[in-house]
Chain A
Protein backbone atom coordinates (compact mmCIF):
# COMPACT_ATOMS: atom_id res chain seq x y z
CA UNK A 1 0.00 0.00 0.00
CA UNK A 2 1.17 3.51 -0.74
CA UNK A 3 0.60 5.56 2.38
CA UNK A 4 0.24 8.80 0.44
CA UNK A 5 -2.27 7.34 -1.97
CA UNK A 6 -4.10 4.64 -0.03
CA UNK A 7 -6.53 3.75 -2.80
CA UNK A 8 -3.93 2.85 -5.42
CA UNK A 9 -4.09 -0.85 -6.27
CA UNK A 10 -5.21 -2.58 -3.11
CA UNK A 11 -5.10 -6.34 -3.36
CA UNK A 12 -6.11 -9.00 -0.90
CA UNK A 13 -3.16 -10.93 0.49
CA UNK A 14 -4.79 -13.05 3.15
CA UNK A 15 -2.57 -13.55 6.18
CA UNK A 16 0.67 -12.80 4.36
CA UNK A 17 1.45 -9.67 6.41
CA UNK A 18 0.97 -11.61 9.61
CA UNK A 19 3.40 -14.29 8.54
CA UNK A 20 5.87 -11.57 7.46
CA UNK A 21 5.77 -9.86 10.84
CA UNK A 22 5.86 -13.10 12.83
CA UNK A 23 8.96 -14.20 10.95
CA UNK A 24 10.62 -10.80 11.47
CA UNK A 25 13.56 -11.18 13.87
CA UNK A 26 13.15 -7.58 15.06
CA UNK A 27 9.53 -8.19 15.97
CA UNK A 28 10.21 -11.24 18.10
CA UNK A 29 13.15 -9.49 19.73
CA UNK A 30 11.03 -6.48 20.66
CA UNK A 31 8.28 -8.82 21.90
CA UNK A 32 10.80 -10.29 24.33
CA UNK A 33 12.04 -6.82 25.34
CA UNK A 34 8.48 -5.59 25.88
CA UNK A 35 7.52 -8.63 27.95
CA UNK A 36 10.63 -8.32 30.12
CA UNK A 37 9.94 -4.63 30.61
CA UNK A 38 6.26 -5.23 31.43
CA UNK A 39 6.76 -8.06 33.89
CA UNK A 40 9.57 -6.25 35.70
CA UNK A 41 7.95 -2.82 36.04
CA UNK A 42 4.48 -4.10 36.89
CA UNK A 43 5.75 -6.35 39.69
CA UNK A 44 7.97 -3.67 41.23
CA UNK A 45 5.28 -1.01 40.87
CA UNK A 46 2.75 -3.33 42.47
CA UNK A 47 4.87 -4.13 45.53
CA UNK A 48 5.97 -0.52 46.05
CA UNK A 49 2.50 0.81 45.23
CA UNK A 50 0.81 -1.53 47.68
CA UNK A 51 3.16 -0.45 50.49
CA UNK A 52 2.66 3.18 49.53
CA UNK A 53 -1.13 2.85 49.53
CA UNK A 54 -1.10 1.14 52.95
CA UNK A 55 1.05 4.00 54.29
CA UNK A 56 -1.17 6.65 52.71
CA UNK A 57 -4.21 5.01 54.26
CA UNK A 58 -2.86 5.55 57.81
CA UNK A 59 -4.13 8.45 59.88
CA UNK A 60 -0.89 10.42 59.79
CA UNK A 61 -0.08 14.09 60.16
CA UNK A 62 0.13 15.81 56.77
CA UNK A 63 -1.52 12.91 54.95
CA UNK A 64 -3.37 15.28 52.62
CA UNK A 65 -0.10 16.89 51.54
CA UNK A 66 1.36 13.43 50.86
CA UNK A 67 -1.69 12.55 48.79
CA UNK A 68 -1.28 15.68 46.63
CA UNK A 69 2.47 15.22 46.15
CA UNK A 70 2.06 11.58 45.18
CA UNK A 71 -0.01 12.77 42.21
CA UNK A 72 2.82 14.76 40.63
CA UNK A 73 4.67 11.97 38.78
CA UNK A 74 1.41 10.46 37.51
CA UNK A 75 0.14 13.75 36.09
CA UNK A 76 3.31 14.94 34.36
CA UNK A 77 3.50 14.09 30.66
CA UNK A 78 5.62 10.98 29.96
CA UNK A 79 7.55 13.12 27.45
CA UNK A 80 8.49 15.57 30.21
CA UNK A 81 9.40 12.70 32.53
CA UNK A 82 11.68 11.34 29.82
CA UNK A 83 13.37 14.72 29.44
CA UNK A 84 13.91 15.18 33.18
CA UNK A 85 15.42 11.73 33.59
CA UNK A 86 17.55 11.98 30.46
CA UNK A 87 19.01 15.14 31.99
CA UNK A 88 19.71 13.37 35.29
CA UNK A 89 21.19 10.33 33.52
CA UNK A 90 23.74 12.35 31.49
CA UNK A 91 27.15 10.65 31.94
CA UNK A 92 29.61 13.48 32.53
CA UNK A 93 27.63 16.16 34.33
CA UNK A 94 24.44 14.33 35.35
CA UNK A 95 23.30 14.53 38.95
CA UNK A 96 22.84 10.77 39.39
CA UNK A 97 26.40 9.82 38.49
CA UNK A 98 27.66 12.76 40.56
CA UNK A 99 25.87 11.43 43.65
CA UNK A 100 27.07 7.88 42.95
CA UNK A 101 30.64 9.11 42.55
CA UNK A 102 30.48 10.78 45.95
CA UNK A 103 29.37 7.44 47.38
CA UNK A 104 32.40 5.83 45.79
CA UNK A 105 30.46 4.09 43.01
CA UNK A 106 31.41 4.45 39.38
CA UNK A 107 28.05 5.15 37.72
CA UNK A 108 27.28 3.31 34.47
CA UNK A 109 26.51 4.95 31.14
CA UNK A 110 22.82 4.78 31.94
CA UNK A 111 21.36 5.31 28.49
CA UNK A 112 24.22 4.44 26.14
CA UNK A 113 25.36 1.10 27.59
CA UNK A 114 23.20 -1.61 25.93
CA UNK A 115 23.32 -3.80 29.02
CA UNK A 116 22.05 -1.05 31.35
CA UNK A 117 19.68 0.95 29.11
CA UNK A 118 16.64 -1.30 29.59
CA UNK A 119 17.10 -1.15 33.35
CA UNK A 120 17.30 2.66 33.17
CA UNK A 121 14.05 3.03 31.24
CA UNK A 122 12.43 0.60 33.71
CA UNK A 123 13.53 2.82 36.60
CA UNK A 124 11.89 5.82 34.95
CA UNK A 125 8.64 3.93 34.40
CA UNK A 126 8.66 2.74 38.00
CA UNK A 127 9.22 6.30 39.21
CA UNK A 128 6.29 7.58 37.18
CA UNK A 129 3.74 4.83 37.72
CA UNK A 130 4.23 3.50 41.24
CA UNK A 131 2.06 6.39 42.55
CA UNK A 132 -0.64 5.48 40.02
CA UNK A 133 -0.72 1.93 41.35
CA UNK A 134 -0.84 3.32 44.89
CA UNK A 135 -3.77 5.66 44.12
CA UNK A 136 -5.93 2.87 42.67
CA UNK A 137 -5.16 0.59 45.61
CA UNK A 138 -5.81 3.46 48.03
CA UNK A 139 -9.26 3.96 46.49
CA UNK A 140 -9.85 0.25 47.04
CA UNK A 141 -8.64 0.47 50.66
CA UNK A 142 -10.94 3.40 51.39
CA UNK A 143 -13.92 1.41 50.14
CA UNK A 144 -13.43 -1.32 52.77
CA UNK A 145 -16.08 -0.89 55.49
CA UNK A 146 -14.61 0.04 58.90
CA UNK A 147 -16.79 -2.39 60.87
CA UNK A 148 -14.99 -5.36 59.31
CA UNK A 149 -11.82 -4.29 61.12
CA UNK A 150 -13.75 -3.69 64.34
CA UNK A 151 -15.19 -7.20 64.09
CA UNK A 152 -11.82 -8.94 63.69
CA UNK A 153 -10.29 -6.74 66.39
CA UNK A 154 -12.98 -7.96 68.80
CA UNK A 155 -11.96 -11.50 67.94
CA UNK A 156 -8.40 -10.60 68.86
CA UNK A 157 -6.81 -10.55 65.41
CA UNK A 158 -3.32 -9.09 65.19
CA UNK A 159 -2.49 -6.28 62.79
CA UNK A 160 -0.89 -8.73 60.40
CA UNK A 161 -3.90 -11.06 60.57
CA UNK A 162 -6.36 -8.28 59.84
CA UNK A 163 -4.26 -7.23 56.83
CA UNK A 164 -3.96 -10.81 55.61
CA UNK A 165 -7.58 -11.89 56.15
CA UNK A 166 -9.56 -8.65 55.70
CA UNK A 167 -7.59 -6.08 53.68
CA UNK A 168 -6.11 -8.28 50.96
CA UNK A 169 -9.28 -10.27 50.13
CA UNK A 170 -11.39 -7.10 50.13
CA UNK A 171 -8.82 -5.43 47.90
CA UNK A 172 -8.88 -8.26 45.35
CA UNK A 173 -10.77 -6.48 42.57
CA UNK A 174 -8.86 -3.20 42.96
CA UNK A 175 -5.59 -5.17 42.74
CA UNK A 176 -6.80 -6.98 39.63
CA UNK A 177 -7.84 -3.77 37.89
CA UNK A 178 -4.63 -1.95 38.85
CA UNK A 179 -2.56 -4.85 37.50
CA UNK A 180 -4.50 -5.06 34.24
CA UNK A 181 -4.42 -1.31 33.53
CA UNK A 182 -0.72 -1.13 34.30
CA UNK A 183 0.07 -4.25 32.27
CA UNK A 184 -1.65 -2.78 29.22
CA UNK A 185 0.04 0.60 29.64
CA UNK A 186 3.47 -0.91 30.22
CA UNK A 187 3.08 -3.25 27.26
CA UNK A 188 2.34 -0.30 24.98
CA UNK A 189 4.88 2.14 26.46
CA UNK A 190 6.17 4.65 23.89
CA UNK A 191 6.66 8.29 24.97
CA UNK A 192 9.28 7.93 27.71
CA UNK A 193 11.40 5.46 25.76
CA UNK A 194 11.15 7.58 22.59
CA UNK A 195 12.60 10.54 24.51
CA UNK A 196 15.12 8.62 26.64
CA UNK A 197 16.76 6.33 24.09
CA UNK A 198 14.63 6.28 20.93
CA UNK A 199 14.73 2.49 21.23
CA UNK A 200 18.51 2.30 21.30
CA UNK A 201 21.33 1.70 21.94
CA UNK A 202 21.42 -1.02 19.32
CA UNK A 203 17.76 -1.84 19.90
CA UNK A 204 18.27 -2.61 23.61
CA UNK A 205 15.12 -0.67 24.56
CA UNK A 206 13.20 -1.23 21.31
CA UNK A 207 9.78 -2.11 22.71
CA UNK A 208 6.90 -3.08 20.42
CA UNK A 209 5.37 0.39 20.05
CA UNK A 210 8.72 1.86 19.04
CA UNK A 211 9.36 -1.03 16.67
CA UNK A 212 5.97 -0.67 14.97
CA UNK A 213 6.24 3.12 14.80
CA UNK A 214 9.64 2.93 13.14
CA UNK A 215 8.53 0.19 10.78
CA UNK A 216 5.50 2.24 9.66
CA UNK A 217 6.93 5.74 9.54
CA UNK A 218 10.69 5.35 9.03
CA UNK A 219 10.96 2.23 6.85
CA UNK A 220 7.45 2.83 5.39
CA UNK A 221 6.57 -0.85 5.67
CA UNK A 222 2.95 -0.13 6.48
CA UNK A 223 1.43 -3.56 5.94
CA UNK A 224 3.51 -5.69 8.32
CA UNK A 225 3.44 -2.80 10.82
CA UNK A 226 -0.35 -2.78 10.96
CA UNK A 227 -0.35 -6.57 11.21
CA UNK A 228 2.02 -6.24 14.16
CA UNK A 229 -0.19 -3.67 15.83
CA UNK A 230 -3.17 -5.99 15.38
CA UNK A 231 -1.30 -8.76 17.16
CA UNK A 232 -0.80 -6.27 20.01
CA UNK A 233 -4.52 -5.39 19.97
CA UNK A 234 -5.50 -9.04 20.23
CA UNK A 235 -3.23 -9.51 23.23
CA UNK A 236 -4.69 -6.40 24.86
CA UNK A 237 -8.25 -7.46 24.00
CA UNK A 238 -7.76 -10.72 25.82
CA UNK A 239 -6.74 -8.71 28.88
CA UNK A 240 -9.64 -6.25 28.45
CA UNK A 241 -12.12 -9.11 28.40
CA UNK A 242 -10.78 -10.33 31.71
CA UNK A 243 -11.13 -6.74 32.93
CA UNK A 244 -14.72 -6.36 31.70
CA UNK A 245 -15.60 -9.80 33.09
CA UNK A 246 -14.02 -9.19 36.49
CA UNK A 247 -15.83 -5.88 37.00
CA UNK A 248 -19.14 -7.35 35.85
CA UNK A 249 -19.03 -10.36 38.13
CA UNK A 250 -18.99 -8.05 41.14
CA UNK A 251 -22.37 -6.44 40.40
Chain B
Protein backbone atom coordinates (compact mmCIF):
# COMPACT_ATOMS: atom_id res chain seq x y z
CA UNK B 1 0.00 0.00 0.00
CA UNK B 2 2.62 2.46 1.17
CA UNK B 3 4.78 1.53 -1.87
CA UNK B 4 2.04 2.37 -4.39
CA UNK B 5 1.48 5.73 -2.74
CA UNK B 6 5.18 6.65 -2.87
CA UNK B 7 5.43 5.59 -6.50
CA UNK B 8 2.49 7.78 -7.47
CA UNK B 9 4.04 10.81 -5.78
CA UNK B 10 7.39 10.07 -7.44
CA UNK B 11 5.73 9.72 -10.83
CA UNK B 12 3.78 12.94 -10.49
CA UNK B 13 6.88 14.82 -9.36
CA UNK B 14 8.88 13.49 -12.32
CA UNK B 15 6.21 14.49 -14.81
CA UNK B 16 5.96 18.01 -13.39
CA UNK B 17 9.74 18.46 -13.32
CA UNK B 18 10.09 17.16 -16.88
CA UNK B 19 7.41 19.56 -18.13
CA UNK B 20 9.22 22.44 -16.43
CA UNK B 21 12.50 21.27 -17.98
CA UNK B 22 11.05 21.05 -21.45
CA UNK B 23 8.78 24.07 -21.59
CA UNK B 24 11.42 26.77 -22.26
CA UNK B 25 12.99 24.67 -25.03
CA UNK B 26 9.64 23.99 -26.68
CA UNK B 27 8.63 27.64 -26.36
CA UNK B 28 11.89 28.69 -28.04
CA UNK B 29 11.18 26.29 -30.89
CA UNK B 30 7.61 27.59 -31.31
CA UNK B 31 8.67 31.25 -31.15
CA UNK B 32 11.37 30.76 -33.75
CA UNK B 33 8.81 29.65 -36.35
CA UNK B 34 6.61 32.74 -35.96
CA UNK B 35 6.95 35.67 -38.32
CA UNK B 36 7.91 38.98 -36.70
CA UNK B 37 4.33 40.31 -36.40
CA UNK B 38 3.00 37.19 -34.70
CA UNK B 39 5.98 36.99 -32.35
CA UNK B 40 5.06 40.18 -30.52
CA UNK B 41 1.33 39.61 -30.60
CA UNK B 42 -0.62 39.91 -27.33
CA UNK B 43 -1.94 37.42 -26.30
CA UNK B 44 0.80 35.12 -27.62
CA UNK B 45 -0.32 32.24 -29.83
CA UNK B 46 0.57 28.78 -28.56
CA UNK B 47 0.43 27.23 -32.02
CA UNK B 48 1.89 29.56 -34.69
CA UNK B 49 -0.98 30.77 -36.92
CA UNK B 50 1.29 31.44 -39.87
CA UNK B 51 4.37 29.25 -39.33
CA UNK B 52 7.32 30.30 -41.45
CA UNK B 53 11.05 29.77 -41.69
CA UNK B 54 11.61 33.49 -42.26
CA UNK B 55 13.63 33.86 -39.04
CA UNK B 56 15.89 30.99 -39.99
CA UNK B 57 16.48 32.52 -43.39
CA UNK B 58 17.47 35.87 -41.86
CA UNK B 59 19.61 34.25 -39.16
CA UNK B 60 21.43 31.88 -41.47
CA UNK B 61 21.91 33.90 -44.64
CA UNK B 62 21.61 37.61 -43.86
CA UNK B 63 24.02 37.50 -40.92
CA UNK B 64 27.51 36.02 -40.61
CA UNK B 65 25.98 33.16 -38.62
CA UNK B 66 27.17 30.41 -40.98
CA UNK B 67 30.65 31.80 -40.58
CA UNK B 68 30.37 31.62 -36.80
CA UNK B 69 29.04 28.10 -37.09
CA UNK B 70 32.08 27.09 -39.11
CA UNK B 71 34.44 28.81 -36.64
CA UNK B 72 32.77 26.98 -33.77
CA UNK B 73 32.95 23.63 -35.56
CA UNK B 74 36.64 23.94 -36.51
CA UNK B 75 37.77 25.29 -33.14
CA UNK B 76 35.75 22.90 -31.02
CA UNK B 77 36.58 19.80 -33.07
CA UNK B 78 40.31 20.55 -33.09
CA UNK B 79 40.36 21.42 -29.40
CA UNK B 80 38.49 18.25 -28.53
CA UNK B 81 40.65 16.00 -30.68
CA UNK B 82 43.91 17.53 -29.51
CA UNK B 83 42.94 17.54 -25.84
CA UNK B 84 41.65 13.99 -25.81
CA UNK B 85 44.77 12.59 -27.50
CA UNK B 86 47.12 14.53 -25.21
CA UNK B 87 45.09 13.56 -22.17
CA UNK B 88 45.05 9.87 -23.17
CA UNK B 89 48.85 9.66 -23.38
CA UNK B 90 49.32 11.60 -20.14
CA UNK B 91 46.73 9.51 -18.34
CA UNK B 92 48.35 6.29 -19.54
CA UNK B 93 51.71 7.48 -18.23
CA UNK B 94 50.17 8.43 -14.87
CA UNK B 95 48.46 5.08 -14.49
CA UNK B 96 51.51 2.95 -15.43
CA UNK B 97 54.42 4.78 -13.80
CA UNK B 98 54.95 5.96 -10.24
CA UNK B 99 57.32 8.91 -10.17
CA UNK B 100 58.12 11.47 -7.48
CA UNK B 101 55.19 13.82 -7.27
CA UNK B 102 52.78 11.73 -9.33
CA UNK B 103 50.16 11.78 -6.56
CA UNK B 104 50.64 15.49 -6.10
CA UNK B 105 50.18 15.94 -9.84
CA UNK B 106 46.74 14.35 -9.65
CA UNK B 107 45.74 16.60 -6.74
CA UNK B 108 47.05 19.51 -8.81
CA UNK B 109 44.81 18.49 -11.73
CA UNK B 110 41.81 18.39 -9.40
CA UNK B 111 42.63 21.90 -8.22
CA UNK B 112 43.05 23.15 -11.80
CA UNK B 113 39.57 21.83 -12.50
CA UNK B 114 38.18 24.01 -9.71
CA UNK B 115 39.81 27.30 -10.73
CA UNK B 116 37.20 29.64 -12.20
CA UNK B 117 37.64 30.87 -15.77
CA UNK B 118 37.41 34.50 -14.72
CA UNK B 119 40.61 34.09 -12.68
CA UNK B 120 42.80 33.12 -15.63
CA UNK B 121 41.02 35.34 -18.13
CA UNK B 122 43.22 38.42 -17.84
CA UNK B 123 46.59 36.58 -17.80
CA UNK B 124 45.38 34.45 -20.72
CA UNK B 125 44.48 37.55 -22.71
CA UNK B 126 47.86 39.19 -22.03
CA UNK B 127 49.65 35.96 -22.98
CA UNK B 128 47.74 35.57 -26.23
CA UNK B 129 48.25 39.25 -27.04
CA UNK B 130 52.01 38.84 -26.61
CA UNK B 131 52.00 35.78 -28.84
CA UNK B 132 49.97 37.68 -31.41
CA UNK B 133 47.34 34.96 -31.29
CA UNK B 134 44.24 36.94 -30.29
CA UNK B 135 41.37 36.40 -32.74
CA UNK B 136 42.80 33.25 -34.34
CA UNK B 137 41.57 29.65 -34.28
CA UNK B 138 44.74 28.50 -32.53
CA UNK B 139 44.10 30.91 -29.66
CA UNK B 140 40.80 29.33 -28.60
CA UNK B 141 42.06 25.80 -29.30
CA UNK B 142 44.92 26.38 -26.84
CA UNK B 143 42.68 28.15 -24.33
CA UNK B 144 40.17 25.29 -24.37
CA UNK B 145 43.03 22.83 -23.95
CA UNK B 146 43.84 24.40 -20.59
CA UNK B 147 40.67 23.00 -19.09
CA UNK B 148 39.90 20.07 -21.44
CA UNK B 149 43.28 18.40 -20.93
CA UNK B 150 43.27 18.27 -17.09
CA UNK B 151 39.70 17.00 -17.12
CA UNK B 152 40.57 14.44 -19.82
CA UNK B 153 43.60 13.16 -17.89
CA UNK B 154 41.57 12.64 -14.74
CA UNK B 155 38.84 10.85 -16.61
CA UNK B 156 41.06 8.67 -18.82
CA UNK B 157 43.25 7.68 -15.86
CA UNK B 158 40.31 5.83 -14.37
CA UNK B 159 39.90 3.83 -17.57
CA UNK B 160 43.57 2.86 -17.86
CA UNK B 161 43.75 1.84 -14.22
CA UNK B 162 40.99 -0.66 -14.83
CA UNK B 163 42.66 -2.26 -17.88
CA UNK B 164 44.37 -5.56 -16.99
CA UNK B 165 48.15 -5.18 -17.06
CA UNK B 166 48.64 -8.73 -18.43
CA UNK B 167 47.58 -7.76 -21.96
CA UNK B 168 50.28 -5.12 -22.28
CA UNK B 169 52.84 -7.30 -20.51
CA UNK B 170 52.38 -10.12 -22.97
CA UNK B 171 52.56 -7.68 -25.88
CA UNK B 172 55.84 -6.36 -24.50
CA UNK B 173 57.16 -9.92 -24.04
CA UNK B 174 56.43 -10.42 -27.73
CA UNK B 175 58.68 -7.49 -28.51
CA UNK B 176 56.37 -4.48 -28.37
CA UNK B 177 57.85 -1.28 -26.98
CA UNK B 178 55.99 0.58 -24.21
CA UNK B 179 54.64 3.01 -26.79
CA UNK B 180 53.68 0.10 -29.06
CA UNK B 181 51.83 -1.54 -26.19
CA UNK B 182 49.96 1.70 -25.59
CA UNK B 183 49.09 2.31 -29.24
CA UNK B 184 48.17 -1.30 -30.08
CA UNK B 185 46.62 -2.55 -26.84
CA UNK B 186 45.68 0.07 -24.26
CA UNK B 187 44.55 2.86 -26.59
CA UNK B 188 42.03 0.77 -28.60
CA UNK B 189 40.74 -0.89 -25.44
CA UNK B 190 40.02 2.49 -23.87
CA UNK B 191 37.59 3.41 -26.68
CA UNK B 192 34.59 3.89 -24.33
CA UNK B 193 36.67 6.23 -22.19
CA UNK B 194 37.87 8.15 -25.24
CA UNK B 195 34.28 8.49 -26.43
CA UNK B 196 33.05 9.71 -23.04
CA UNK B 197 35.92 12.18 -22.69
CA UNK B 198 35.65 13.62 -26.19
CA UNK B 199 31.86 13.89 -26.20
CA UNK B 200 31.90 15.66 -22.86
CA UNK B 201 34.71 17.98 -23.89
CA UNK B 202 32.97 18.69 -27.18
CA UNK B 203 29.82 19.83 -25.42
CA UNK B 204 31.72 21.94 -22.86
CA UNK B 205 33.77 23.68 -25.56
CA UNK B 206 30.79 24.16 -27.87
CA UNK B 207 28.99 25.95 -25.02
CA UNK B 208 32.00 27.96 -23.81
CA UNK B 209 31.41 31.71 -23.68
CA UNK B 210 33.73 33.71 -21.43
CA UNK B 211 37.04 32.97 -23.18
CA UNK B 212 35.53 33.35 -26.63
CA UNK B 213 34.14 36.72 -25.53
CA UNK B 214 37.57 38.06 -24.64
CA UNK B 215 39.85 36.20 -27.07
CA UNK B 216 37.94 36.78 -30.29
CA UNK B 217 37.18 40.13 -31.86
CA UNK B 218 36.15 39.73 -35.49
CA UNK B 219 34.28 37.38 -37.76
CA UNK B 220 37.63 35.59 -38.27
CA UNK B 221 37.27 33.59 -35.07
CA UNK B 222 34.04 34.53 -33.27
CA UNK B 223 32.11 31.46 -32.20
CA UNK B 224 28.33 30.96 -32.18
CA UNK B 225 27.67 31.98 -28.53
CA UNK B 226 29.38 35.33 -29.20
CA UNK B 227 27.42 35.70 -32.44
CA UNK B 228 24.19 35.13 -30.52
CA UNK B 229 24.86 37.92 -28.04
CA UNK B 230 25.43 40.27 -30.97
CA UNK B 231 21.68 40.16 -31.62
CA UNK B 232 21.19 41.76 -28.20
CA UNK B 233 21.94 45.44 -27.98
CA UNK B 234 21.08 47.92 -25.28
CA UNK B 235 18.11 49.28 -27.21
CA UNK B 236 16.81 46.41 -29.27
CA UNK B 237 16.90 42.64 -29.30
CA UNK B 238 16.35 41.02 -32.69
CA UNK B 239 14.20 38.25 -31.25
CA UNK B 240 13.23 36.63 -34.55
CA UNK B 241 16.70 35.75 -35.88
CA UNK B 242 17.99 35.30 -32.33
CA UNK B 243 15.53 32.54 -31.42
CA UNK B 244 16.15 30.81 -34.76
CA UNK B 245 19.94 30.96 -34.35
CA UNK B 246 19.66 29.68 -30.77
CA UNK B 247 17.66 26.67 -31.97
CA UNK B 248 20.36 25.85 -34.54
CA UNK B 249 23.01 26.29 -31.85
CA UNK B 250 21.46 23.94 -29.26
CA UNK B 251 20.16 21.32 -31.69
CA UNK B 252 23.40 19.28 -31.96
CA UNK B 253 23.65 19.26 -28.15
CA UNK B 254 20.10 17.96 -27.73
CA UNK B 255 20.84 15.22 -30.26
CA UNK B 256 23.95 14.33 -28.23
CA UNK B 257 21.88 14.27 -25.04
CA UNK B 258 19.54 11.72 -26.60
CA UNK B 259 22.05 9.43 -28.30
CA UNK B 260 25.10 9.78 -26.08
CA UNK B 261 23.30 10.12 -22.75
CA UNK B 262 25.40 7.41 -21.09
CA UNK B 263 28.69 9.09 -22.01
CA UNK B 264 27.52 12.55 -21.00
CA UNK B 265 26.30 11.32 -17.63
CA UNK B 266 29.67 9.59 -17.16
CA UNK B 267 31.42 12.92 -17.78
CA UNK B 268 29.07 14.93 -15.55
CA UNK B 269 29.08 12.60 -12.59
CA UNK B 270 32.73 11.71 -12.95
CA UNK B 271 34.42 11.82 -9.57
CA UNK B 272 31.15 11.75 -7.67
CA UNK B 273 31.10 8.03 -7.06
CA UNK B 274 34.57 6.59 -7.29
CA UNK B 275 36.54 9.59 -6.07
Give the interface of A toward B (CB within 8 A): 3-4, 6, 48, 51-52, 54-56, 58, 60, 66-81, 83-88, 92-93, 95, 98, 127, 130-132, 135-136, 138-140, 142-143, 159, 173-174, 177-178, 184, 187-188, 190-191, 194-195, 208-209, 212-213, 216-217, 222, 225-226, 229-230, 232-233, 236-237, 239-241, 243-244, 247-248, 250-251
B residues in contact with A174, CB < 8 Å:
272-273
8 nearest A-B pairs in the assembled complex, by CB-CB distance: A77-B207, A188-B116, A240-B114, A247-B275, A139-B269, A55-B10, A229-B119, A79-B225
**With the chains together, A159 CA to B206 CA distance in Å?**
43
Query: Per DSSP, are chain B's interface residues mostly helix, strand or loop, or mixed?
Result: helix
User: In the complex, which of the residues B3, B107, B118, B206 has the most CB atoms of chain A within 10 Å of its own CB atom?
Assistant: B118
Cα of A138 to Cα of B272 in the assembled complex, Å: 10
Alpha-carbon distance A232/B117, docked complex (angstroms) = 11
Tell me if A's interface is mostly helix, strand, loop or mixed.
helix
Q: Are A237 and B114 in contact (CB under 8 A)?
A: yes
Q: Beyond the given A52-B13, A77-B250, A229-B118, please list 6 additional residue pairs across the A-B interface where CB-CB is below 8 A.
A: A3-B129, A76-B207, A130-B17, A159-B6, A241-B111, A243-B110
Listed in ascending order, the chain B residues whose CB lies under 8 Å from chain A are 2-3, 6-7, 10-11, 13-14, 17-18, 20-22, 24-25, 27-28, 31, 39-44, 107, 110-111, 113-119, 121-123, 125-126, 129-130, 203, 206-207, 209-210, 213-214, 225, 228-229, 232, 237, 239, 242-243, 246, 249-250, 253-254, 256-258, 261, 264-265, 268-269, 271-273, 275
CA distance A184 to B229 in the complex (A): 25
Complex contact A229–B121 (CB within 8 A): yes
Taken together as a complex, chains A and B put the C-alpha atoms of A174 and B21 apart, in Å, by 23
Pairs across A and B, CB under 8 Å, 21 listed: A55-B10, A55-B13, A56-B14, A68-B258, A71-B264, A76-B254, A80-B228, A84-B28, A85-B24, A87-B243, A92-B42, A93-B40, A95-B44, A136-B268, A140-B273, A159-B2, A159-B6, A174-B272, A225-B122, A232-B116, A244-B111
Contacts of B261 in A (CB 8 A): 67-68, 71
Give the chain B neighbours of A239 by CB distance below 8 A.
114
CB pair A84–B123 under 8 Å, yes or no, is: no
A contact residues around B213 at 8 Å (CB): 194
Which one of A71, A130, A195, A251 lies within 8 Å of B232 (CB-CB)?
Answer: A195
Contact with A87, one of B2, B210, B239, B265 (Cβ below 8 angstroms): B239
